[in-house]
Structure 1
């Protein structure tokens, strides 16, 4: 009886089907079914009632599942103690993050792997942490905005605002707006939110300005590149464009106007069973990302 098969059993229970567990773990469905069958034979007990439409725990499976969670948590803590002594953490961490945060996260993750070269990182785009954290078997996700009351642990990383940027080429060709009224007469590059809303009303601390949207996209990275390419003026978090700002590919305009701020969270299911590599990465990002944001505040 292998620890990996016990963990597989708990994932099948959480996701409710062999197929969902197979997709989350990048395994063939037949592999999951076979391993659960072998576990049942080793225990001499049926863990699931199987029908064509539903998979549910038997009485034996229910009791075994709840006891097993405690056992696996203890096993993980014991393994972490050994790794703490060896001071050489090894393992894999699966992280969910918003597509538009790639430029901000990539240097931080590269720095983390320089510190811990034996930790493998598996990164997945996600727009819905409530479902994706289980369906993709993620160790944690990074989420911006409101947090639903769903029983997850949520730790605030920072509050993120947006500023107004343009490329030097665009400003040379079209002039620089001196106030919000002039801004509304320029071409704007707008982000489209996951729910389909167009972000063409830029909410500032003191004002809201309706811009003339010439180009929109639901990927912040594409928006950033369009602004750098001189297609218009954009409204984005400086943390998501650090390299372009440092290289002066983007210039901040109307610096007296800033947006209201939005919280960014690091979210995971619970405090039990967190591996040492996961805990190290969580602690690292909670410190590193605010430090990076501090570097961008005056940009």
Structure 2
């Protein structure tokens, strides 16, 4: 019985399917299925109920899974005590980042790779942390917006995604500057389309909500930001993603006396016991460094 096969079993449980586990570990699905079947033969009992649509743990599989988590944690702890130096840390981490955040995250991730030269980072641009965590077999994923009820994943707040209303000087000179939330309805709005398909035409502030008239819609914040810089309308964007434009003056913040409803960015990952040492170290590194972006 190999520790790699035990880790594979845990990965299948955490991701909910042979296919997701195969994607996560860059293995053929047939390889995963065969190794799980061999493990079941070795322990002498079925670990999964299998149907054409999904798999679920048997009673014996449930007991085995929770016992294995303890065993793997002890095994990893023993290994980490032997290899304490940073140069000894090895492993591959699959990380999902939200589009348009790469410019902000690059320095942090480059610093991590320089600190741990034997770690391999597989970076994926994603739209939704909860969905892409399973579809792409990620170890860690960033997520913005509402949380999905999921007992399999840990969600840690990592960054406040405070919004701000922005426009170019040229747009404001031509169309006037709104001084109240209600006046936004009289302007040309640049609206974000969420991965769910919902169009964000209602902009929420702590005191009220206004329905805006959409001039341009996009699921790319970068596109909306460029449109605002070109004078096409007013946008409602996370402040951290337009901080450079606000500093240079290519965009200006308006209605600063109005407070948007607070939103959060999250770091998603499975239970730490199921992650390799490199993934656990990157989680702590991100939790320490990303909040400094504000």
Superposed, 1:62-77 pairs within 5 Å as 64-77=64-77
Query: Contact between 1:184 and 1:212, CA under 8 Å: does it hold in 2?
Result: yes
User: Structure 1 residues 101-110 or 283-292, which shifts more?
Assistant: 101-110
State the partner residue of 1:199: 200
SS of 2:122's equivalent? Answer: strand
State the partner residue of 2:109: 109
State the partner residue of 2:84: 84
Query: Contact between 1:48 and 1:55, CA under 8 Å: does it hold in 2?
Result: no
Superposed, 1:201-280 pairs within 5 Å as 201-280=202-281
CA gap of 1:214–1:34, structure 2 versus 1, over 3 A, is: same
SS of 1:234's equivalent? Answer: strand
CA gap of 1:228–1:83, structure 2 versus 1, over 3 A, is: farther
The alignment's C-alpha RMSD in Å is 3.1
Length, aligned pairs only: 290
Query: Contact between 2:127 and 2:195, CA under 8 Å: does it hold in 1?
Result: no
Q: Which runs of 5+ in 2 are unaligned?
A: none
Q: Structure 2-normalised TM-score?
A: 0.81
Q: CA deviation at 1:74?
A: 1.6
Query: Contact between 2:40 and 2:47, CA under 8 Å: does it hold in 1?
Result: no
Supply the distance in 1 between the matched residues of 2:129 and 2:9 (Cα, whole angstroms). Answer: 24
Query: Contact between 2:89 and 2:278, CA under 8 Å: does it hold in 1?
Result: yes
CA gap of 1:37–1:201, structure 2 versus 1, over 3 A, is: closer
Q: Which runs of 5+ in 1 are unaligned?
A: 294-299
Q: CA deviation at 1:114?
A: 3.2
Q: Does 1:27 align with 2:24?
A: no
CA gap of 1:205–1:48, structure 2 versus 1, over 3 A, is: closer
CA gap of 1:248–1:83, structure 2 versus 1, over 3 A, is: farther
